[in-house]
Structure 1
Amino acid sequence: MAAREEEEEEEATVSLVDVLEEDEDLEQEASAVLGGSDSEHCSYSQGYVKRQALYACNTCTPKGGEAAGICLACSYKCHEGHDLFELYTKRNFRCDCGNSKFRDLRCKFYPEKEPLNGQNRYSHNFFGLYCTCNRPYPDPEDQVEDEMIQCIICEDWLHGRHLGRSVPDCMELQEMICGSCMNNSPFLWMYAAHLTGNSKEKKTEKQEDQQQQEETEEASSSFLSTTTTENSETAASCKRSRQQLQDGCRLQQLQEVGPGQSGAVFWPPSWRSKLCTCLKCQGSYSAAGVSFLLDSSDTVLDYETRGRSQEPVQGHDLLMSALEPLNRVQQLEIIHEYNDMKSELKDFLQRFAAEGKVVTPDDITGFFEQQQTRKRRRVDAAQLHCS
């Protein structure tokens, strides 16, 4: 019995370290997702924000009503205590808080907003539903462990098992486009056949560049050999021909490979840079509503990278709420002490876990007594220095 109790205590000790590590992971994830958004000011004045963290309020706009999205600041200030759906991030969205979709609520930041934001795009996500199965997440009735992946075009979240294709083992840097969005932009299938390794006739980038260079040289040589006059019309024609060769449509060069694919597509890193940017293709992107694919900064990875580089969003953090009455210097001192204590406590517990020892109440008491002793020494040293 004693051995079993000791084993249970040891497991509890390890789980405590895991909790601290998980807490750090959650903080980093929050910084990535929320760091690019403003927790103190409604984003409405910025218009249709390129990308921001969004929420939907089930209290104010429940299922059966009109879909609406609110920014991070409004989720804190205007919808405190409400039932909110976290939507992660959405592109080109303007905050709806307090507009005509909300009956009695008015935005505390901008009480007078336009009735509607016509360029916003909505989906069943705004009512807490996801995937082609139209289910909530987390789903209490779903007993299957499965990850959810966001499509970069429709921005819906889909279960891995509903993508119509197996999920790669390592996809941290890969972007996914669901099968429905691929079919809505059929020209993407041509790129998929070459860039995702599913084409038997796939050529390396070096081979494609070499082939294009050979075709350019051959065409230029042939053209110049037949040009004997030097009048302005011939010179202009030569210039146009060279320009057409240099600005050749990349997609047109891929037409020989048929689609023959279905389901979602996982794209390799930097795949967007391989897309053709000729005028004809730009028109195709615009018509399909996917012009953002040509913007390298549109990616969630880029957004999260910028978010991590900024100060963590505090929002309604209990520590910050308690520090509000203090001045800035006092706040920074306490936050510094808190971070030091948290780091030292993790190191302290980690040593016990590594050695397989059980943490006793006396150990915890001793840790905090040691913290108090160190603090008194720092205070005494500071007073001695000042005197």
Structure 2
Amino acid sequence: MESPSSSTRFTLLPTSYLASQPPSSEITLQSLIDTSDRMAEEAREALPYSFDECTYDKGYLRQSVWSCLDCGEKGVCYGCSISCHSEHRLVELWTRRSFRCDCPTSSTQPEPIPPAKRRRCGLYPPDEQPQEPNEKNKYTQNFQGKFCRCGREYDAETETEAMICCIACEDWFHESCLNLRQSPTAAQVIPETTSNTDPAQPVSIPASQTNGAAGDEEDDEELAVLIRSDSYDGLICAECVKGNGFLRSQAGKEGWMIIEPEEDRGEWKVIGRKPNRKVEDEDEYAAGSTKRTKLENGLATPITASDKSTSATEEDIWRWKGKGDIFLANGVRDQLKDQLDEKTVVSLPFPLVDEEIYEPPKDDEQDETIEQVTSRVMTSLPRVQAIEALHGYQKLKDRLNTMLQEHVASGKSVSKEDIEDLFEQLKGRRE
């Protein structure tokens, strides 16, 4: 077995890696190198950006945010989530509009803790902390780790249902909670019902047919929802709709799709689809003859002057039986930019043009060799400590080379016990 060359990548393996191997297993040096490379590649993919910057000084902007459950359920930026809160309980919230990092503020510092013992942001000047709380930040149930109107916690390892983000409040909702499909846990009973394919009428699909079978391909999953994701531009949840008079007046109009129940038939129907659509190929669902329909690519019908002048009385009337979520057809937001007056635009709970998402600089650092890492670390140490560290490193290198040569001569592989014995010997000599 040859010792690793000077060009070998330097990536620390987790201490749990060797411990997880069976005591009698043999581990070759090449397998450790391969594992190191694989973990390094996974880390680069998961953390593509540099995390040596706190975005607090950039003010309120649209950025990726994590809630720290151990720091008052406040939000921190990408850099702080890794550099300052990596050992805390974090909840990924994806992007948030107009949000400022809370890490260097007093809102993440529990008051009962003496000032001298309070944590500090490691990426912000210590003498400028803590900053005052960010009064313009908005904190929803998401910061407690709860999502959707059902209040369920999100676990990426166990969640099987797709979720959709509201473009207004930026909460995430399960497709089943939006009545786009049946709940994955519900019984799947498909009645022999044929949908109305008249383009002038709302399209209905039995609720029991809105849940794809487990293990279906993504395309099949798309066929199982009432409104395909490529036919609408954004979701506005019911709470945001009912809190805005203009949105209430638009619900159910062409391009402002809502999902309504047909209680007598046990079905759900979509109201507000663009009428100029076609029935596509007669692709049948798994166990029924209901044909699927979809919106043709195109813009929704423009809002007229009479639409915009809806009276307050009409706005306050809510005649729908469903939950009231609106699915905006493609192109509606573009039309609103030209057709709404400034006062109405300002009153909308969502932007007509998406803000640019701030992204930290890419982490373009090249992989370092062991010698490069050692040199970099040594230059940061005081002279006496640097000399002692170099002596220790040389002893480790010499002892490792001796062990490897012995194994090469005997034809043995390096085992877990060999590595443990090596470090025990070095530890005994140091003591």
**TM-score under structure 1 length normalisation:** 0.50
CA offsets 1:121-164 (integer angstroms, 9 cap, x no match): 00121121111222211289x8x842222111111112211124
User: Could you tell me which residue of structure 1 aligns to residue 58 of structure 2?
Assistant: 46
| Equivalent residue letter for 1:195 | G
Aligned-residue offset at 1:118: 0.5
Quote the sequence identity (%): 28
Match status 1:195 vs 2:209 = no
Q: Deviations over 1:81-136 (max 9, x none)?
A: 22211111111000000322223211122232422100000012112111122221
Match of 2:98 in 1: 92
Specify the alignment match of 2:243 in structure 1: 184
Q: Alpha carbons of 1:203 and 1:75: their partners in 2 closer, same or farther (altered >3 Å)? A: same
1:272 corresponds, among 329, 333, 340, to: 333
Equivalent residue runs for 1:198-347 within 5 Å: 198-199=271-272, 251-252=308-309, 260-261=319-320, 262-263=322-323, 264-275=325-336, 276-282=339-345, 284-285=347-348, 290=349, 292-294=350-352, 296-298=353-355, 303=357, 325=373
Gaps of 5+ in 1: 1-19, 62-66, 213-247, 328-387
1:80 aligns with 2:86: yes
Looking at structure 2, the residues matched to 135 and 117 of structure 1 have their Cα atoms a distance apart, in angstroms, of: 27
Q: Please, which of 55, 67, 70 is the counterpart of residue 66 of structure 2?
A: 55
More displaced 10-residue stretch of structure 1: 195-204 or 126-135? 195-204
Distance 1:249 1:321 in 2: 70
Structure 2 match to 1:220: none
Relative to structure 1, the CA distance from residue 89 to residue 319 in structure 2 (aligned partners, 3 Å threshold; closer, same or farther) is farther
Distance 1:157 1:56, change over 3 A: same
Quick one: distance in 1 between partners of 2:371 and 2:245?
Answer: 55
Flag the 1:281–1:59 CA change in 2: closer, same or farther, 3 A: closer
Compare the two structures and name the one with the higher strand fraction. Answer: 2
Q: Secondary structure at the match of 2:254?
A: helix
Higher RCO by CA contacts (8 Å cutoff, separation 6 or greater): 1
The Cα shift of 1:278 comes to: 0.9
Q: Report if the CA contact (8 A) 2:163-2:172 is conserved.
A: yes
The CA distance in 2 between the partners of 1:89 and 1:260, in whole Å, is: 34
Q: Distance in 1 between matches of 2:300 and 2:227?
A: 28
Partner SS for 2:93: strand
In 1, Cα distance between equivalents of 2:133 and 2:254: 42
Give the alignment's TM-score, normalised by structure 2: 0.46
* Structural RMSD (CA): 4.4
Aligned length: 240
- Looking at secondary structure, tell me which structure has more helix per residue: 1
Counterpart contact for 1:74–1:107, Cα < 8 Å: yes
Tell me which residue corresponds to 1:128. Answer: 145
Mapping 1:344-363, distance limit 5 Å: none
Q: 1:78 to 1:251 in 2, by over 3 A?
A: same
Q: Distance in 1 between matches of 2:346 and 2:299?
A: 28
Q: Can you give the 5+ residue segments of structure 2 that lack an aligned partner in the other structure?
A: 1-37, 110-117, 182-224, 258-270, 278-297, 376-431
